Chain A
Amino acid sequence: MLLIHCPHCDEARPEIEFAHGGEAHVARPLRPAEMDDAAWGRFLFFRANPKGMHAERWRHAHGCQRFFNVLRDTRTDEIAASYLTGAPRPDLPSAPRPDPEAAAAAPSRPEA
């Protein structure tokens, strides 16, 4: 279970208090009517889904009810930063990983 720092409450709280809100920094277009189908489709359905540092929205659903953003490494689930909605994404590199040979020996994660 993740421990998430809510920047509004300024406390690290367990994940069960929060609701995930999808990728951050995906702004709703100001004039949707002027967008063609392809551009609107990209806004609706296309997300980065990185293996590495991911900026994502969380809502403190069982706390202050407010949205904020988190930088989380999707490989390690390490949370590098949490920051207010509207603030720019902090410039943080992904955590370094071991050499590829060692990584190749990492347990695979198949469906199952």
Chain B
Amino acid sequence: MTAARVAGYGRIDRSRKLGFTFDGRTHLGHPGDTLASALLADDVMLMGRSYKYHRPRGPVTAGSEEPNALVGVDRGPGRYTPNLRATTIEIHDGLKAESQNHFPSLKWDFGAVNDMMSPLFAAGFYYKTFMWPKSFWRRVYEPVIRQAAGLGRPPKAADPDLYADRYAHCDVLVVGAGAAGLAAAEAAAISGAKVMLVDEQAEPGGALLAEIRVEIDDAPAQGWLAARLAALNARANVTVLARTTAIGLYHQNLVGLVQRLTDHLAEPPEGAPRERLWRVRAKQVVLAQGAIERPLVFDGNDRPGVMLADAARTYLTRYGVRVGAKPVVVTAHDWAWGAAVEMARAGASPVVVDARDTVSSALLAEAQALGVEALTGWTVTATHGRLRVKGVTANPVRGAHVGAGRRLPADAVLMSGGWTPTLHLHSHVGSPIAWAAEREAFLPAQTAKGVRVAGAGAGAETWADALGEGAQAGAAAAADAGFDAAARVYAVSEGLKPTGRRMKEMASHLPSSRQRAFVDFQNDVTAKDIRLAVQEGFRSIEHVKRYTTSGMATDQGKLSNINALTIAADALDKEPPQVGLTTFRPPYTPTTFGALAGHAKGKLFQPTRRTPIDPWAEANGAVFEPVSQWRRAWWFPRKGESMHEAVLRECAATRERVGLFDASTLGKIEVVGPDAAEFLERIYTNPWRKLGVGRCRYGLMLGEDGFIRDDGVIGRVAEDRFHVTTTTGGAPRVLAHMEDYLQTEFTDLRVWLTSVTEQWAVIALNGPRARDVIAPFVEGQDLAPEAFPHMSLAECRVCGVPARLMRVSFTGELGFEVNVPARHGRAVWEALWAEAQKHDGLAYGTETMHVLRAEKGYIIVGQDTDGTVTPDDAGIGWAVGKAKADFVGKRSLARPDLIARGRKQLVGLAVEGATPLEEGMQLVDDPAQPVPMTCVGHVTSSYRSAALGRPIALALVENGRARMGETLHAPDPALGPGGARSAVICSPVFYDPEGARLDA
């Protein structure tokens, strides 16, 4: 037993025991333990396997920056969470955790053969190794890589948990409840400002939780911390949130927080949300994110038992776990000596290997007094052991010469390369950082408006500095938020400010190419890989990152980025600021999709809009399809019918007798005012001034670029009142387009626009019997063809309710559209339906509507057009008022590109064979030409036509109208190599080209 609990240390509650399992074995821990500390207390150092080489790994940190000790936690079906850091998981009774990325077991992993073949897997191996033969990629390499890659496995069942969200506002938000954050919160709180203090750990306190030597305001740090937290919690103007990670800082001080609510509980309350996403808008933000200790880069620095010096100190002082009896401390920084001294006081026998030739005499004296052996001017060139470190080789360094090695027994290796200020949130809003040469670290250069950085994140290296700067930041933030605030001074008993040296790789007699010196533990990136990337020509740190994958895994380079940069800078013979850091992006630590989705899933993902007639359609067995946010009846199958059969039946019945269609989703805009006609004149391509009251006209809307944006029938209800219809999906866009011109360009016009989409239910009746069905219900309008011809509009009564009745058709048959107030929609539909039954009519859905309109060559904007189609391209140049001086888009229609020859034009396709083409199929002249082929067009609409008894299609084809009768081909890989369908170009009007049926 080398690692063990030590009496008298730690914040854990030793009076209570908690039972949990790791890989099926039961362990005991105490309240206050993390999974990592409890396992270490049971002498379990091996906790995972690495991503690429499957090397055995143990925890290297004691915090959220952990790259190695990733585990899966199983909370039951659908509640398995992979890739959680053992260093942040709070244990509870019944916790089930398991290690990942190994087969068959953590100790015996077949994947570790990758480690023996590591020369094959150097930086960029994907791009080099798997290139030949080309055909092997899809069948051999990719499946094998997919099998081997990745860390944890995702859960299979849907996540049954509830995730909450909340908005909040405060005067001062403090991120991080360490020394600086506490001081900032206290200074702001005393001023009366509304303060939020958030911290990712289970209890606030940050590094203070592991501080047992220092006294603040004449009280031991632990007691001082408890008193400060109690005081803050007692204030009504302060909210302290633990287990809450600030995942991102966004514009204007919006901070995203994820609060973990129940994962730490053995028995979560029924129905309690698992996590809560907070969106906090803070007047002022103080970032006290702290700093992360830097690992050192040397051969074998990833062996289980090698960890950061301050992590080892934290395991001892916070959790009462001594990670080894014979630790070797490797460093070039005073910080690590503190860890050595603390381990010695707890009964261990540490040896310190310091790369510096001289260290302060005070450090040496303190070490010697505790029997700590110190080797200054030495390096470590190797570690030994397999599943746990057993020893290191240390060598003296004289100038550039590395002397003969001395083998030191070791059950833990504690390393420290100094500290890296955490600048993530600061950088999220694009704030600049600057290289501070004397501290050998990047520091904030200029903060965003209303943002301050304090404490170790701003470069503070002592408790006194962290507390003092924190208090000043908190007071200044409160002052800027409008409160009368002052910073106090804290009295701290502590020794000298620690100093140290930044290291690239530790000195070695071996070249970097012969070392396994890891820079990024999680992605298995070595110093050799970084140097190789530079040698192969990568100059930008962003490219080095992507080529080597350094900094790309779940820890996002929290440990590795600065060492990768230092080594790349050395290889490039530049200073670190000239090479630069990669960009920090939210989230700070991995975040569940559940927290981000919150309630917006399943039925609540987006609203479902339903028409007044929707319940009838549901009761009558409709199959629905989503159109924008509407759900629309797609087709009405009879027993045993396929979609194809139902649609053919609906089409035939409508053409032969009568069909009812719920068109309520059509966008409707009431355009009113003395200048309404003039406004439409400018917005639509068609002329409107002379349209008579009671008449309708097809309206075509362009963008200023001359391309089709929307269309619909517009009826003139009165001199100053138009009933404008739009496509179902286009309604909000069209209204915004109209408002834009009305408010910002045509400000001379007196016009008012009102969306009335949901005010009117619309029932379309089409077919030769349509008049017979509706006539019995209409009061106040003669429906005889002469009195109410095609494209008429009347305000009348239908079924006794006020209605706008239009004689229009989107099928090519005699057609009426009845607009009635939405609340009467269902009743009117049912009355018309009952009447239609007498004529052997039926209800049809959107699929039949599509087929019938395609048979007539009527376009659907957004299906047959794609934002690059002009009226002439679509074959509806007749809708453009040639005599009009101006309308939106008119000038563009004369641009050279828009009148050039060779534009794609809408044509029909007479398809050969019995099956329709696929919409989106590309069309070519010669299907035997080599790939890549020259495409001359594509299919926009394709259906089986009941009326014609064969498939039809609409297509956009280069010069299509000049190519009538020519044959095109649609390559179809489903037909085998070289397979293609063929079709003959024809008019897009397949049915009743004279339009005689409209005027029935």
Instruction: Give the B-binding residues of A (Cβ under 8 A).
Output: 1-3, 15, 19, 21, 27-28, 31-33, 35, 37, 40-41, 44, 57, 59, 61, 65-67, 75-79, 85-86, 97-98, 101-110, 112
Contact = CB atoms under 8 A, between A and B. Distances in A.
A107 B427 CA distance: 7
B430 A106 contact: yes
A40 B427 CA distance: 41
Given A1-B254, A77-B429, A79-B252, 14 more contacts: A1-B250, A21-B740, A32-B886, A37-B895, A67-B739, A78-B252, A97-B432, A98-B445, A102-B446, A105-B580, A106-B433, A106-B445, A108-B583, A112-B546
A44 B429 contact: no
Given A28-B745, A105-B433, A78 B449 contact: yes
Contact of A105 (B434, B584, B896): B434
**Residue among A19, A77, A106 with the highest chain B CB neighbour number at 10 A:** A106
B583 A110 contact: yes
Given A78-B449, A102-B432, A44 B886 contact: no
B577 interface: yes
A61 B281 CA distance: 22
A19 B732 CA distance: 12
Contact of A67 (B281, B434, B705, B744): B744
A102 B433 CA distance: 7
B744 A77 contact: no
A21 to B, nearest CB: 7
A27 B281 CA distance: 36
B281 A109 contact: no
Contacts of A109: 430, 583
B445 A102 contact: yes
Contacts of B191: none
Contacts of B736: 19, 59, 61
A41 B895 contact: yes
Contacts of A98: 432, 434, 445-446
Contacts of B449: 76, 78
B107 interface: no
Listed from nearest, the 4 A-B pairs whose CB atoms lie closest are: A32-B891, A106-B432, A102-B445, A107-B583
A101 B895 CA distance: 47
Given A75-B430, A85-B744, A105 B446 contact: no
Nearest to A106: B432
Contacts of B886: 31-33
B779 interface: no
B580 A85 contact: no
A66 B583 CA distance: 37
A25 B822 CA distance: 41
B243 to A, nearest CB: 24
A2 B577 contact: no
A77 B736 CA distance: 25
Interface in B438-464: 442, 445-446, 448-449
Nearest to B891: A32
A76 B448 contact: yes
A31 B886 CA distance: 8
Contact of A102 (B251, B252, B434, B891): B434
B918 interface: no
Contacts of A21: 740
A59 B584 CA distance: 32
Contacts of B279: 1
Contacts of A67: 739-740, 743-744
B252 A2 contact: yes
A45 B705 CA distance: 9
Contacts of B739: 59, 65-67
B281 A76 contact: no
B754 to A, nearest CB: 11
Interface in B869-900: 885-886, 890-892, 894-896
A32 B890 contact: yes
A86 B892 CA distance: 25
B582 interface: yes
Nearest to A61: B736
Contact of A77 (B251, B546, B581): B251
25 contacts: A2-B252, A19-B736, A27-B745, A28-B704, A32-B886, A32-B890, A40-B892, A44-B705, A65-B739, A85-B743, A101-B577, A102-B434, A103-B445, A105-B442, A106-B433, A107-B432, A107-B433, A107-B580, A107-B581, A107-B582, A107-B584, A109-B583, A110-B542, A110-B583, A112-B546
A107 B442 CA distance: 11
Contacts of B642: none
Interface string B277-318: 001010000000000000000000000000000000000000
Contacts of B744: 57, 67, 85-86
Contact of B281 (A3, A37, A78): A3
Contacts of B431: 106
B624 interface: no
Given A1-B250, A2-B252, A40 B895 contact: yes
B135 interface: no
